[in-house]
Amino acid sequence: MQTPGKSMQPAASVDLEALLSDLDSRLQDALRHVGTAGLERLLTVSLPLPALASCKPPSPCPGSMYWANAGRGLYRFGMGRALTLEASGKKRFLSLDTAFSELRGRWVHADPERCGAQALAFLGLSFEPEETGPGFATATVQVPALLLEGAKTDWRVSLSGLLGPTIEPETLHADWLERAGSFFSWLLVGGTESPPVPQGLRRIETTPSDGEWLERVERALAAIGKGRLQKVVLSRRLRVRGRRRLRARPLMDWLEARYPECAQFAYSGEDYTLVGASPERLVTLVGSRVTSDALASTTARGSDGQGDDYLAASLLASPKARKEHELVVQDIVAALKPLCKALEVPREPGLLKLPNLQHLWSPIRGELRSGVTILQLIGRLHPTPAVGGVPRERALSWLAEEGECRGWYTGALGWLADDGSGEVSVVLRCAVLRGRTAELYAGAGIVADSDPRMELAETELKFRTMLDALTRA
């Protein structure tokens, strides 16, 4: 795989006809052993693709889903829908958990060559259980019809589809081969883009405006002063326009190169692409081991080592920052404790240092009790006080009264596997691209001794991540 940030030329050395012929033969072999007896099943067949060793993920396109962690060399790109689950309302996690558990019971994963790929679905959800933006579901689990998965330089393809008494393996095989032919033809010939040319951006609108934001912070402080809230997180939206169409792939390359320790994601509809790099893990589940990040309180990076150390020490010593962070830790511990046999909670927060920001960070780990699912964990954790507030329900009610509309910003995006594992991140440091325009999002946590103008400056600091990236798009 080429270094993130470099443009990949069309892979002329790959013989498309030979690649598809080889894939055809191996799919037939895999399907011979599946059979058709029984109820309808979801079948996933995974195969290695050594011919694509020099490739990198393609550009997002309508209907594509992408999740990566460049620091771990892990890339997942999905297209098409083999199966979609959706839910909304306050019971959306319960509904999705029931449906996904049923799906796992009839999900067959064939990995005949033991390439190590996972049969998985992508998960996306909005901040609020009812409110969302155009094209975005309030909560969705989508199994891609075709998944291209890369780890280091090894690429694998997973093809998924429904199989049952009325759907023969031959029908599925023909559909898969046609889909793979279209995809790999596009990938090898037109699925990459020319190198980015830096462009300027013009700010169109910030919602709420600076003045409205300061007034909203004052109202939040009044609610905190009356004892209604301990903390509430406010958000802002910034619309910008470029001189030409803003492209997702150069933006993703830049984020992967500059923020490799984050989860990078892209979710595309017909006329938009949500792109971002989130430093905050909502939950990771591997076997019975669960991990969640308490990430709250932010400052800038210094221009040199001495300045950076000073800012870090000031953040660690700040009573306001420590209080804001401790509220998040307490909430995550309270959510996980009933589901865990044991919890590991750091006594003191550490620092998560990114190129332009540093945060107080406490990774919380636990050993789950038997039978707990990842969607149950998500339902208990979302939204954490890092993006919502404390007490949770009062904070959410107050935000609704204020008319906060976030869509998937501060919602969550990630993947769930057929074996019950998964990794889901809070949707932060993101932008929604539509042609020449982009909508950026940023937020700040308000506690008793917050300074409204400093919180305003924090949102501008957080906007900077995507503004810098968009000039390369």
- CA torsion 114-79-436-235 (nearest 10°) is -80
The Cα–Cα gap between 339 and 365 comes to 12
Is 91 an annotated catalytic residue?
no
Q: Which residues contact 382 (CB under 8 A, 6 or more apart)?
A: 93, 125, 282, 411, 412
Distance CA 289, CA 277 (A): 24
Instruction: Check if the beta carbon of residue 121 is closer than 8 Å to that of residue 423.
Output: no
Query: Cβ contacts of residue 55 below 8 Å, gap of 6+?
Result: 1, 8, 11, 14, 150, 155, 187
Please confirm, yes or no, whether 231 is among the known catalytic residues: yes
CA angle 92, 94, 95 (to 5 degrees): 65
Q: Which of 149, 256, 280, 458 is catalytic?
A: 280
Cα–Cα distances (Å) from 97 to 82, 200, 373, 400, in that order, read 18, 45, 8, 26
Distance, CA of 75 to CA of 81 (rounded, Å): 19
Catalytic residue among 56, 128, 149, 231: 231
In whole angstroms, give the CA distance from residue 147 to residue 154: 14
Scan for tokens 């498309």, then name that residue.
16
Catalytic residues, by residue number, are: 231, 280
